[in-house]
A and B are shown apart, each in its own frame.
Chain A
Amino acid sequence: MSDSHSSSETVATLKLLLIGSSGTGKSSLLMRFVDGVFLAPDEISATIGVDFKVKVIDVEGKKYKLTIWDTAGQERFRTLTSSYYRGAQGVILVYDVSNRDSFNDLQTWFNELDTYCSSKEVVRMIVGNKVDKESSREVSKQEGQEFARKLQTLFVECSAKTKLGVQQAFDELVQQIIDTPSLWQKQAPSNVRLQPNTETQEYSGCAC
Chain B
Amino acid sequence: MADMDADDFENFEFIDYTTSGPWEKFIIQIESCLKQWGLVHNSYGVFNPKRMPATDENMDLDQELALALHDNDERKANTTTATESADATVAKASPTSNKAGSSRSSGVVDSNASQVPSLSNVYQHDSTVTLDGVPYTLSYRYHPAKARIASGVERIDLDFLPTTLEGFEHHSLHRWTALTHILVLSPAPDSHSPIIDLGLAKLLQSSFAIAFQNTGCNIPVFVPTGQVRNGTYMGLSIQPQLSHARNSDLGLDEMAEDQAIEVRYNTLLVPYPPAQYTDLAGILELFIERMGIDDDYADMDDGDDDTSEGYSQQLKEQIFVSALFSYQLDNWYDEDWRQWADKGDDTVTKSRERLPDLPFGPVQDPLKSIHLVARFASAPSTVYLDSKNLTDMDASQANIWILKAIFKPDDYGLLSGILEDAVSSWNVEVKSLLGASKDQASEKGEGSYTSLLMKGARLIQGTIAMVDASDVENIVDDLCTTPSPSASITPYNDNTNAALQPTQRQRSHSQGTTDRVISAAELGLHFRRATTVPYNSFLWKMLRHLVDVISPNSHISYPTSFMGFTKAVWADLLMQFDVYWERKEMIPLIDIFGEAVDEYASDDDDGSGSLIKATFIDFRFNLMHQKLSMINCCISWELALRQDEQSSSPSPTTSTSSSADSAAEESSPELPKEQPSLKPTSVSGSAEPGDDAPMVATADDTKPSDSINRGSGAEVKHDALAESLGEMDINASATLPKSTTATPPPKDAVETKISHHSEGGLKPFKDLKLLATGAPMMVPKLQDQGYMTEDMIQDQEDLLENLGSSADAAKTRAELQSSQLISGKPPMLYMGAFKAANPGCTIGDFIRWHSPKDWDEKKAQMSARMADSGNFWQELWEKAEALPASKQKPLFDHYYQAEKALSYLKNQTGSQIFIQLLPSICLLAYDTLTSHPVSTVSPQATKALQELAQVLTDFPWDQLSATEKKLDLEPIIAKFKQAEQTVGRVVSLLRKFPEQFSLVERILKDSESVVEDGTERDCVLTVFSAAGFAKTVFPKPTCREFVMETFDPVSSPSSSFIGAPGPTFVTPDDLTGWDARPLQRRMYACFKDSEVRIVDAVAKDGMFM
Contacts and interface: CB of A to CB of B under 8 A. Distances in A.
A201 B606 contact: yes
A53 B790 CA distance: 23
A21 B793 CA distance: 23
A176 interface: no
Nearest to A1: B794
A45 B871 contact: yes
Given A75-B850, A194-B618, A203-B727, A108 B605 contact: yes
B818 A201 contact: no
A42 B724 contact: no
A171 B958 CA distance: 30
Given A22-B854, A49-B824, A203-B728, A192 B529 contact: yes
B614 A189 contact: no
Interface string A59-78: 00000000100000011110
A150 interface: no
A34 to B, nearest CB: 8
A79 B891 CA distance: 15
Contacts of A79: 785, 825
A44 B865 contact: yes
Contacts of B817: 48-50, 80
B515 interface: no
Interface string B590-632: 0000100100110111111000101111111000000000000
A45 B817 CA distance: 14
A52 interface: yes
Nearest to B792: A83
A4 interface: yes
Contacts of A101: 853
A26 to B, nearest CB: 13
A194 B620 contact: yes
Greatest chain B CB density within 10 A among A4, A188, A192 is at A192
Contacts of A41: 865
B20 interface: no
B830 interface: yes
Interface string A11-54: 00000000001110000000000000000011111111111111
Contacts of A115: 600
Interface in A74-94: 74-77, 79-80, 83-84, 86
B868 A80 contact: no
B956 A205 contact: no
Contact of A203 (B683, B724, B785): B724
B784 interface: yes
A145 interface: no
Contacts of B720: 200
Interface in B767-826: 784-785, 787-788, 790, 793-794, 796-798, 800-801, 805, 810, 813-814, 816-818, 824-825
Given A186-B956, A203-B728, A76 B605 contact: no
Contacts of A9: none
Contact of B798 (A4, A45, A46, A50): A4
A135 interface: no
Given A196-B614, A196-B616, A208-B852, A51 B810 contact: yes
B993 interface: no
A159 interface: no
Interface residues of B, number: 75
B725 A46 contact: no
A140 interface: no
A67 B187 CA distance: 74
B953 A198 contact: no
Contacts of A47: 814
A74 B612 CA distance: 23
A198 B684 contact: yes
Given A198-B612, A198-B614, A207-B605, A83 B813 contact: no
A107 B607 CA distance: 12
B802 to A, nearest CB: 9
A199 B721 contact: yes
Interface in A178-208: 186-208
Contacts of B727: 203
B711 interface: no
Interface string A114-134: 110010000000000000000
B825 A80 contact: yes
Can you list the 10 inter-chain pairs with the closest CB atoms, starting with the nearest? Answer: A204-B606, A49-B817, A196-B616, A42-B864, A190-B529, A198-B614, A207-B605, A80-B824, A74-B851, A196-B614
8 contacts: A41-B865, A45-B865, A48-B813, A75-B852, A77-B827, A86-B794, A199-B784, A206-B605
Given A42-B863, A199-B724, 11 more contacts: A46-B866, A49-B813, A51-B810, A51-B813, A54-B805, A80-B825, A111-B600, A186-B959, A192-B529, A198-B614, A204-B604
